[in-house]
Structure 1
Amino acid sequence: MFSIIQAAGWPIWPLLICSILALTLIIERLSTLRASRIAPPKLLDEVLSISQQSLPAPEVIQRLAENSALGEVLAAGLRAVANEPDLNDDKLRQVFEIAGRRAIHRMERYLNALGTIATAAPLLGLLGTVVGMIDIFGSQSPGGGNPAMLAHGISVALYNTAFGLMVAIPSLMFYRYFRGRVEDLVMEMEQSSDRLLSHLKRFLA
């Protein structure tokens, strides 16, 4: 592997950096976008249960906000009603929307970087191949060179294109997967917020 990297020349080093960054981002997003950290399945039912008769205490709301992204959104609604009992429906819905946008922003963190790597990696690979081909043909003597050496040089130049595709394809697949995952989680959070909003109307003045 090290000999291939050496043979491919300097253009492969940006690709190596991209591969390390992509792997780091993929591992980080796989860890972050878990249901237990974003939208625990039974969290809404627990919130509805503890607020059936009255609003939870401030320390309970704070623990809810620290539980997960969905917990933070639900806690924002509970806190708004507790602080302003005369809040109307539109303002309460706006509180949920603002908290939801903050949660979505955190869920989408680093996805643009991963998408950029997926787009740029094939171009970097092509750049490395072009640079390698220029070096190969520039080193040939006017009277013609060794065909075997020329073929070997071309194969070495193509290492960059192959490595660029090896970086781009998994990056693009995970980028699409994470985008779909975020959309599913956002839909779930919106449905939970709507249910809690309807539940909290009874506490409005």
Structure 2
Amino acid sequence: MSIFAGAVDYFVKGGPCMWPLLMCSFAAIAIGVERYLFYKKAISGEKFASSFCRMMNDFNLVGASELAEQSKGEAAAMAKEILDIKGDLGQRLETIVYTKADRIIDSLEKNINYLSVVIGLSPMLGLLGTITGMISSFNALNERTQNPMAVTAGIGEALITTVFGLCIAIMGMCIHAYLTSKIKTETLNINEVADTLVDIFKANEQSK
């Protein structure tokens, strides 16, 4: 028996609860891939944040603007936009900078809650499959003509759904841990860039 045929056989033996579990696995993988591809474009990285903030603290606004223009990611785009329009912001600078920073962070956290739902739902569906499998086994035992194969099929359904549900939850937790670590790191970078922009422009205003 091939690996694929064996997997299909196990899936069929798992009973009806395997279908929602399969959808959960697809959802977890889809969210992970979508967020990974998004982060590749959206994350500016610690190197940009540290270099940009160093230039800003040295009042090298031209160099900081060029660095932001040459760098990828949402933090770099925000920095470039603020540097280009700083003269027109006036007292609204702080509000605009932090609003943009919050929107970037919100975009990084998009769909993460759905992944948390998958992580919590998968073991519950596995448990539901366990219960339905045990019910099938007890029903087979209660029949006058007891069929040992029906009993073992029910036990097999119970075990397979439990294992499948736990595997999906473990996979989802690994994806969630990776994505949240990316979010936390980039959130620090975004806040550092935003704080530096506000502090430097406030210092410039006070020195005038």
Give your verdict on TM over 0.5.
yes
- Residue deviations 1:95-147, cap 9 Å, x none? 11100111011100110011110010000111112122222322334447345
Equivalent position to 1:18, from 20, 24, 37:
24
- Residue deviations 1:56-104, cap 9 Å, x none? 99xx8xx8499421023313432442323xx13xx32221110011101
Letter paired with 2:34: E
Query: Structure 2: how far apart are the matches of 1:142 and 1:45?
Result: 75
Residue identity (%): 23
Give the gaps of 5 or more residues in structure 2. 1-6
Alignment partner of 1:39 is 2:44: yes
Query: Structure 2: how far apart are the matches of 1:163 and 1:182?
Result: 28
Query: Structure 1: how far apart are the matches of 2:182 and 2:109?
Result: 10
TM-score normalized with structure 1 length: 0.79
Alignment partner of 1:186 is 2:187: yes
Alignment partner of 1:30 is 2:30: no
Q: Pick which of 98-107 and 184-193 moved more.
A: 184-193
Distance change >3 Å, CA 140–CA 76, structure 1 → 2: same
How far is the alpha carbon of 1:165 from its aligned partner? Answer: 0.5
Q: Pick which of 36-45 and 2-11 moved more.
A: 36-45
Equivalent position to 1:77, from 82, 92, 102:
82
1:99 counterpart residue number = 100
Distance change >3 Å, CA 72–CA 23, structure 1 → 2: same
Matched residues, number: 197
1:127 counterpart residue number = 128
In 2, are the aligned partners of 1:122 and 1:161 still within 8 Å (CA)?
yes
Query: Structure 2: how far apart are the matches of 1:67 and 1:25?
Result: 22
More helix by share: 2
TM-score normalized with structure 2 length: 0.78
